[in-house]
Chain A
Amino acid sequence: MRHWAALLRPGDWLVMAGGAALVGFTLPLLWQGGFAERAIIRQNGQVFAETDLLTHREFQVPGPLGTTLVAVEPGRARVVSDPGPRQYCVRQGWLARPGEIAICAPNRVSVQIAGRTKAYDSLSY
C-alpha cells in the first residue's frame, strides 16, 4: 500500500477529496421524489382520506364489494385486507417510496404514497 501511496502527489489527494465531495453533493438526486410524507387513500376516484405517515392509524374504506382495510405506520402504508378476488393490492405489501401505489380495482380503492414533489402526473397499467 505504501508503494501505491507514493504515486500520489499532494494535489491528487485534493482532487480525490473534491471528487468525493461532488459525489456527496449529487447523492440527494437518488431521492429526487423526496421522502414518503403522506398517504392518499382514494375510493372510486375521490379522495377518501389523506394522512401523514407519522403515527399508526387504520382506515376502513367502504366499496362496492365490502370494506378495504388500510394500515398506516410511520413512514409506510399498506392494504391489510380487501374483499377483491385476486388480492394484488394486499400482496403488494408495504409502500414506502413516493409515487408507490396499491390499487384494489374490484373494490375501487387505492392507496398512494406522496412525497414533497410529484414524481409523475399519472400512471397507466
Chain B
Amino acid sequence: MTASVTELSVTPEDRRVAWLATAAVALSLVDAAIPSPLPGVKPGLANIVTLVVLMRYGWGTAVWVSGLRVLAGSLLLGYFLAPGFFLSLTGTTLSLATLGLARHLPTRWFGPVSLSILAAFAHIGGQLLLARLWLIPHNGVFMLTPVFATAALVFGTINGLIAAKLLADTPAAEPAK
C-alpha cells in the first residue's frame, strides 16, 4: 500500500498573503480589545493592512488578505458563523467592492485616505443593510446611522492617514511584513 502524497507547492505570493493576513488578524484582535461604546463602532485597524496591500500588491491580494482575516479573526475571537461573522463578511465584501472601483480614481487626486473613507462608509452601509434585512427587521436600526457614519468618517480618515504614512515610509520593493 502506497501512501499518496499530496504536494502543496507554496509560492512566494502565498507566503506574502499569509504574512499580511497574519498582520491583519493581529490588528483585528487589537480592535476587539478596544472598548467600544456601541457594537459596530470600532477603529477597524485591520483595514490599514487591506489598504496597504491594495495599493502595493493589487486588488486580488487585498481580497485574499481580507477574506482570510475575517475567517481567522472570527475563529480566534469565537464568533465564526455567529451574526457578527456575517456582519463582518458583508461589510468586508462591500468595502472590497468599493475599493475595487475606487482604486481606478486618479491617484494624483485621490490617495489612501479617500479609499479608506469610501471603504469605511461601504463597510458600515453593508452592515446596516444586513442588520435591517436580517437581524433587526425594523427601521429603528437606521436611527443609529449618524453615529455609525461619524465613526466611519473619523476612523476612515485616521486609518487612511496611517496607511498613507506606511506607504510613504516603506519603499515599494520591500514587501510590508
Which positions in A face B, CB cutoff 8 Å? 4, 7-12, 14-16, 19-20, 22-23, 26-27, 29-30, 32
CB within 8 Å for A7 and B111 given contacts A22-B121, A23-B146, A27-B146: yes
Task: Tell me if B146 and A30 are in contact (CB < 8 A).
Answer: yes
Task: Tell me if B153 and A29 are in contact (CB < 8 A).
Answer: no
In chain B between 150 and 177, which residues have their CB closer than 8 angstroms to a CB of chain A? 150, 152-153, 156-157, 160-161, 164-165, 168
Tell me the nearest residue of chain A to B105, going by C-beta.
A11
A and B contact pairs by CB, cutoff 8 A, 13 listed: A7-B164, A8-B111, A8-B164, A9-B109, A11-B105, A11-B109, A12-B117, A12-B160, A19-B156, A22-B121, A22-B149, A23-B149, A29-B143
**Complex interface: chain A residues within 8 A of B160 (CB):** 12
Report, as a range, how many residues of chain B touch the other chain. Answer: 20 to 34
CB within 8 Å for A26 and B111 given contacts A7-B165, A19-B156: no
**Complex interface: chain B residues within 8 A of A11 (CB):** 105-106, 109-111, 114
CB within 8 Å for A9 and B111 given contacts A4-B161, A30-B143: yes
| A16 touches which of B108, B117, B140, B165 (Cβ 8 Å) | B117
Closest 5 CB pairs of A and B: A11-B109, A11-B110, A7-B164, A12-B113, A19-B153
| B113 touches which of A16, A26, A30, A32 (Cβ 8 Å) | A16
A20 to B160, CA, bound (A): 16
A15 to B142, CA, bound (A): 23
**Complex interface: chain B residues within 8 A of A30 (CB):** 143, 146-147
Query: B36 an interface residue at 8 Å Cβ cutoff?
Result: no
